[in-house]
Amino acid sequence: MDFIGEIFQYKFLTHAALACLLCGVACGMIGTYVVCRRLVFLSGGITHASFGGIGMAYYFGANPLLGALLFAVLSALGIETFTARKQIREDSAIGLLWSLGMAIGIIFIYLTPGYAPNLMSFLFGNILSVTGTDIFWMGVVDLAILLIFGTMYHPILFVAFDREYARSQNFPTRTISYLMATLVAVTIVISIRVVGIVLLISLLTIPAVIGNLISKSFGRILLYGSVIAALSAFAGLYISYQTNIPSGASTIFVLTVTLIAVKTITFVRLKRRMKTR
C-alpha cells in the first residue's frame, strides 16, 4: 500500500505508472497484430534499427526519440515496400536493417563528443525517466490505435490472418499493411523508455501469446494482451522500485513467469479433459 500511496505523492512515479498503463494498451494491441501476422522478426528489426536514429540524434544534438521515430518508421515502410515488390525477401530486408541500424547508432555515438549519458536507459529501459511530454504522446498514440482498430477491425483482422482473402474482399490490404507497419514503429518508439530496445520485442509478443493461450478470439486477445502487458509493466515497476534493478528486465521476467504459469494451467486442463473422454 505504501507503493500505491507514493505513486500519487511523487510525480516521477505517477508518470511511470501511467506509462505502464499506456504502453500496455499499445503493445498489447499492436503485439496481437504482430503475433497473428507472424511479424515478430519484423518488430525486432524495427526496434534495433531505431538505435541508428538515437545515435544520429545524439550526434546532431537532437531529441533521441525523434531520431528513433524517424528510423523506425522509415525501416518499417522500407521493409513493407521491398517485400511487396518482391525485390528482396522479407527476412533478408529485416536482417539488413537490423544490423545497419545498430551499426549506424554505434558509429555516431562514438563520434559524439563526450559520453551519451542516457544511452543505457534506451537500451535497457528506465521507466522512472518518463516525462509528462512522453505521457502525452503515449496517450495520443493509444487513442490513435484504439480509433484505428475500432473503425477498421475486420480489415485488420483479415489482413492479419489471410491477406489473400482480404484482397479478394476488396480490402485495401497494402494501405492497411503500411498503416499497421507505421503503428508498429510508433509503438516501439514510445515504449523504448519502458523496457528498452534490447527487450522491447518481448513486450510486443509475450502478452499476445498469453492472450492466445486464454482465447482464440482476435478481439479477446487484443483485450487480454493489453491488460496483461499493462499489469506486467506495473509489476515490473514495483519490483524495479523495491530492488533497484532495471524496469525493463523485471517487466519481461514477470511476463515470462506469467506465460509459463498460463501454459502450465492450460496443459493441465487439456490433460484432464483427455482423461475424462
- The model's pLDDT over 182-231, given as tens digits with 9 standing for 90+, comes to 999 999 999 988 888 888 889 999 999 999 999 989 999 999 999 999 99
What pLDDT does 118 receive? 64
Task: State how far the Cα of 107 lies from the Cα of 19, in Å rounded to an integer.
Answer: 31
- The model's pLDDT over 54-103, given as tens digits with 9 standing for 90+, comes to 999 988 988 888 999 999 999 888 888 877 776 677 777 788 888 888 99
What pLDDT does 269 receive? 84
DSSP for 91-123, written as a single string = HHHHHHHHHHHHHHHHHHHHHSSS--TTHHHHH
196 phi-psi bin (left φ>0, alpha ψ -120 to 50, beta other)? left
Cell numbers found for residue 195: 523496457
Stretch 129-155: mean pLDDT, rounded?
93
Q: Which residue has the higher pLDDT, 138 or 245?
A: 138
What's the predicted TM-score (pTM) here? 0.89
Whether 123 shows a pLDDT value over 90: the answer reads no
What pLDDT does 116 receive? 55
Whether 243 shows a pLDDT value over 80: the answer reads yes
What pLDDT does 247 receive? 84
Angle at 195 between CA 191 and CA 201, to 5 degrees: 80
Instruction: Show the domains of the chain with their CATH numbers.
Output: 2-276 (1.10.3470.10)
- Nearest alpha carbon to residue 101 among 161, 58, 45, 156: 45
Which H helix or E strand runs over 172? none
